[in-house]
Amino acid sequence: MTTPVPTRRTPLRPELLTPVLAVLVALALGAVLVAVADEDTVSALGYFTSRPMDTLSAAWDAVSSAYAALFSGALGSSVALSETLVTATPLILAGLAVAVPFRAGLFNIGGEGQLLAGGAAAGFVGFTFHGLPLLVHLPLALLAALVAGGLVGAVPGVLKARTGAHEVITTIMINNIMGPVLLALLVTSLFQAPGRSDPISRSVASTARMPSPAGSDIRVDLGLLVALLAAVAVWWLIERSTLGFQIRAVGANATAAVTAGMSATRTTVLSMAIAGGLAGLGGAGMVLGASGQGAVTSSFSSGVGFDGITVALLGRGKAGGTVAAGLVFGALRAGGLRMQARTGTPVDLIVVIQALVILFIAAPRVIQSLFRIRANGSMGTTVAKGWGA
């Protein structure tokens, strides 16, 4: 017969607790990989049975030094924190671009293409118009990115609403289209920098660049504020506005929403257009911000549009959760460079950790079963006492 052990309450709700534990478990498994790859640990395994503490000590030294460098590189100084915030900014916007359609029952895989469109449009406005003051030029470039990304995002929304084409397929196809289109534009006289043969645009005017605080080592810029304001706007849109109610209703049950008089077609198109606009702003930040080159290149996005999927999944499709997830992955990426430089641990470990997080978020029952997370937010285990039922 089994007797339940008294459970203990946790301060987090299950929907918040599961992502937190997913990150911790991913870090724990990452620590195993660090130990296995460490030469001293592998060497000590050869005589583990006679002196097991040597192996455990070597593994601890490898893991503690790697993770100490990781967290130091992410949060250890004002410069490190700045790098974390700079890295997190486009991730937050790309994550929001996935989170909004997610609430409407849609899966936006097209953040990369939408981000490329927004970055290209922002860069074009940035290097084409000269003589404008900062308060006019920068908002104009951001608006161009918003519109360009929104238009690219609206296309799969229209196809979904009018023809039933699955948004996952159409957004993937648009990603495959936007990359070559951008590459083609960058070798035309409309974009290409004079005297250059490689695909790179003219330099963006200083009046279209994101302002950053004084200090050469502090790179965080206005893009972070744009991302946070966008997150607040998304929260208000989804949780407080009439359109947000329609988005949630269509996502919960499209048939019931249509029966209640809502337009699933309009909601689908608007959700994808809003998502595209958010991703476009992320692209603008990567071109106009401190992390960019001040010009449009064929690879300026660095796959951030795809990473937004991970961020949105970890954030459970909520605006606040997406911001938190973006900061977590921004810290991992910024700290990963320091970890590699100090300890020689490959920065690819961060990619592995991200993949493990996706795995645990996609299969939450693994985490819930491992930690015995119940619907009421309690955690505990059961133990068997005696034999028989």
Give CA torsion, residues 338, 343, 347, 350, to 10 deg: -90
φ/ψ of 287, rounded to 5, equals: -95, -45
Q: In Å, how far from its chain's centre is CA 188?
A: 32
Q: Which residues of the chain have pLDDT under 70?
A: 1-15, 214-217, 373-389
Query: Average model confidence (pLDDT) for the chain?
Result: 87
pLDDT in tens, 266-311: 999 999 999 999 999 999 999 998 777 789 998 898 889 999 998 9
User: Three-state SS for 2?
Assistant: strand
Alpha helices in the chain (DSSP H): 14-37, 39-45, 52-75, 78-103, 111-128, 134-163, 167-186, 222-240, 242-252, 254-259, 264-288, 304-314, 319-343, 348-362, 364-371
Cα torsion 203, 205, 211, 214: sign: positive
Q: Which two tokens stand for residue 67?
A: 């993770």
Q: Give the pair of three-digit tokens for residue 37.
A: 């790859």
pLDDT tens for each residue of 171-185 = 999 999 999 999 999
Q: Say what the pTM is.
A: 0.88
Both structure tokens of 376: 């009421």
pLDDT, position 380? 53
Tokens of 188: 């035309």
Q: Hey, what are 282's tokens? A: 């992320």
Report how far apart, in Å, the C-alpha atoms of 267 and of each of 57, 153, 242, 298 are. 57, 13, 11, 33
- The confidence score (pLDDT) of residue 196 equals 86
Total Cβ atoms within 10 A of residue 375: 8
- Please tell me the distance from the alpha carbon of residue 97 to that of residue 278, in angstroms, as a whole number: 5
β-pair partners for 382: 4
